[in-house]
A and B are shown apart, each in its own frame.
Chain A
Amino acid sequence: MADRPLVLGIETSCDETGVGIVRGETLLVDAIASSVDEHARFGGVVPEVASRAHLEAMIPTIERACTTAGVSLREVDAVAVTSGPGLAGALMVGVAAAKSLAVGLGVPLFGVNHLASHVAVDIVEHGPLPEPTMALLVSGGHSSLLLVPDVTNEISSLGSTIDDAAGEAFDKVARVLGLPFPGGPHIDRAAREGQVTIDFPRGLTTGRDLERHRFDFSFSGLKTAVARWVELRQRAGEPVPVADVAASFQEAVVDVLTRKAVAACRAEGVGHLQIGGGVAANSRLRALAQERCDAAGVELRVPRPGLCTDNGAMVAALGAQMVLRGRTPSDLGLSADSSMPVTEISA
């Protein structure tokens, strides 16, 4: 297995049961079972519903991954699993499953960080990561700017959200606009029909906020501003221009995200920016990031949307790097750590 380890990765930190298989730096399969439909009527992910779904989906998803990749479990050289951060009960299903695989197959186990995996996945999409690389991770649970000298060993956090995650703001604004959960794709679609007509606030971008939170984000005030704007319209008996509100809100989010990400690249002298997480599927974020990176002479890397959202391939990709770089495997006593810091890449 020396130069092309076959690694199976398991991801259960939220509502997607992901099983991916990677050989070295080549993606063989990315199998996903999602419980998103079960959460829709609750307007957000219900942890117990997600955990139950992970338990039921685990074996079918492992089986589908192996069948699709044409791989027998017995060929697997190592097992990797998201050990945090994420929903505690959901993580535990994946961690226990991975340990059981590792015991059953007699192979090493790597408990890895969910955020580091979001960075590492681009290795199987666009090749080896430039070192260092800047990473902007934006999802329903996270909004972070990371400086990544070595994705298997060294990541530092330059900033993160101080309240809501970007994806969370999309979900909440979608609800205000009467769009379904999850909000991201629906707002993206609605925004394409609208114009940026409303100047919604850009959190932490001026004066003292910028000094104290240079690379941090805040989306809670924006969400409230949108809700107030919409409600004032409704009270006045006026129609709500959903497409314009969606476009204006989306612009406020992606403006701050891309502005700070490019500023971080400049400040750290880093020539590569990678975007990951579910919000990276947003078409306006991709377009504006490309525009601003081009202007700044920064090379932008964004994996395809399916590898931006939570998946098992990213865990396998990071696991394979761990093997290739000779990192020490995790102990079988590995815990799930719901608040695992990003500086802790493996457990």
Chain B
Amino acid sequence: MLALDTSTSAITVAVHDGEQVLAERSVLDARAHTEHLAPLVQDALESAGLRPADLTDIAVGVGPGPFTGLRVGLVTARVLAYTVGVPCHGVVSLDALAEEAVRSGSVDGTAEFAVATDARRKEVYWSRYTVTAGHPARLSDPAVLHPADVADGMRGLATAGRGPLLYPDVFASPVTPLDVSAVALAEVALRQIAHGVEVGVDALYLRRPDAQPTSSSKSTLTEVRGDRR
């Protein structure tokens, strides 16, 4: 399986054979997903000693995350899967952060915790998790919200992602990881496949495009009079 994610500041790629990680490549550069992703994919495959045609599955983080970067990951994964003729599996990117938080022991093995990532525009993408049988289980659908709108009772939860870094006044207990790792994403995808769960590869935008329908035109006559004054 080739796994990749571009929903956070990391452009991250991993090759996983179902039992172990064969290769992992990541670059931290929130503004250059387009440039880095394909070379990382090629590099990871070569380092694993594989050709694209050897892949059996592709997994991709569907977000939520900043749109432009997110689309780069999604179109790359979908097109590669189509080209090679293998299935493309979606993973909620926040779930990959939660997975790593649990695996790395950065959250308590039983308590609730949260993931909050940068949604830009002074907002975060946020989800709440608990741990069952050693794995994270999501308690709430991913949401986009102002940090101030996170309920008081949730603010003390151990919180992974860059949210706590950006809004330390709201998120009192920051924990790692900050960004998605494709290794964790591959683990989530493999577990989803094992349990017959299909997430689909639609982007989780959680926001409508910014656009206002056209209003009536400004008067050009007034404009000209103003210029002459």
Residues of A within 8 A of B (CB): 41-44, 46, 48-49, 51-52, 54-55, 58-59, 62-63, 73, 88-89, 92-93, 95-97, 99-106, 175-176, 224, 227-228, 231-232, 235, 332-336
Question: Do B217 and A176 have beta carbons less than 8 Å apart?
Answer: yes
Question: Do B214 and A55 have beta carbons less than 8 Å apart?
Answer: no
Question: Do B76 and A99 have beta carbons less than 8 Å apart?
Answer: yes
Q: When chains A and B are docked, how far (Å) is the Cα of A62 from the Cα of B75?
A: 12
Question: Do B36 and A59 have beta carbons less than 8 Å apart?
Answer: no
Contact A104-B220, Cβ < 8 Å, known A96-B38, A333-B36? no
Least Cβ distance of B202 to chain A in Å?
A: 9
Residues of A within 8 A of B67 (CB): 48, 51-52, 89
Question: Do B75 and A49 have beta carbons less than 8 Å apart?
Answer: no
Contact pick for A52, options B79, B82, B205, B214, CB 8 Å? B205
9 further interface pairs, Cβ-Cβ under 8 Å (given A41-B214, A88-B68, A227-B220) = A89-B71, A92-B34, A92-B71, A96-B37, A96-B72, A100-B83, A106-B51, A106-B52, A335-B32
Question: Do A48 and B214 have beta carbons less than 8 Å apart?
Answer: no
- What total of chain B residues lie within 8 Å of the partner, measured CB to CB? 41
Residues of A within 8 A of B205 (CB): 52
Whether, in the assembled complex, B224 has its beta carbon less than 8 Å from a beta carbon of chain A, the answer is yes
Question: Do B83 and A48 have beta carbons less than 8 Å apart?
Answer: no
Q: When chains A and B are docked, how far (Å) is the Cα of A77 from the Cα of B80?
A: 16
Q: When chains A and B are docked, how far (Å) is the Cα of A59 from the Cα of B33?
A: 20
Residues of B within 8 A of A106 (CB): 51-52
Least Cβ distance of A101 to chain B in Å?
A: 6
Residues of A within 8 A of B35 (CB): 333-335
Least Cβ distance of A7 to chain B in Å?
A: 16
Residues of A within 8 A of B106 (CB): none
Contact A62-B217, Cβ < 8 Å, known A42-B211, A49-B209, A333-B35? no
Q: When chains A and B are docked, how far (Å) is the Cα of A222 from the Cα of B83?
A: 49
Question: Do B83 and A93 have beta carbons less than 8 Å apart?
Answer: no
Whether, in the assembled complex, B213 has its beta carbon less than 8 Å from a beta carbon of chain A, the answer is yes
Whether, in the assembled complex, B30 has its beta carbon less than 8 Å from a beta carbon of chain A, the answer is no
Whether, in the assembled complex, B84 has its beta carbon less than 8 Å from a beta carbon of chain A, the answer is yes
Residues of B within 8 A of A335 (CB): 32, 34-35
Least Cβ distance of B194 to chain A in Å?
A: 26
Question: Do A175 and B217 have beta carbons less than 8 Å apart?
Answer: yes
Contact A101-B210, Cβ < 8 Å, known A51-B67, A232-B221? no
Question: Do A227 and B217 have beta carbons less than 8 Å apart?
Answer: yes
| Residues 183-216 (chain B) with a chain A CB within 8 angstroms | 203, 205, 209-214
A-B CB contact pairs (8 Å), 14 listed: A42-B211, A43-B213, A49-B211, A52-B71, A62-B82, A92-B71, A93-B71, A96-B33, A96-B38, A97-B75, A100-B77, A333-B38, A333-B39, A335-B32
Contact A55-B203, Cβ < 8 Å, known A73-B83, A103-B42? yes
Contact with A along B91-106 (1 / 0, CB 8 A): 0000000000000000
Whether, in the assembled complex, B219 has its beta carbon less than 8 Å from a beta carbon of chain A, the answer is yes
Whether, in the assembled complex, B107 has its beta carbon less than 8 Å from a beta carbon of chain A, the answer is no
Question: Do A100 and B76 have beta carbons less than 8 Å apart?
Answer: yes
Question: Do B214 and A175 have beta carbons less than 8 Å apart?
Answer: yes
Q: When chains A and B are docked, how far (Å) is the Cα of A200 from the Cα of B115?
A: 60
Question: Do A48 and B75 have beta carbons less than 8 Å apart?
Answer: no
Contact pick for A59, options B38, B79, B223, CB 8 Å? B79
Contact A332-B76, Cβ < 8 Å, known A48-B209, A55-B203? no
Whether, in the assembled complex, B138 has its beta carbon less than 8 Å from a beta carbon of chain A, the answer is no
Residues of A within 8 A of B84 (CB): 104
Least Cβ distance of A75 to chain B in Å?
A: 12
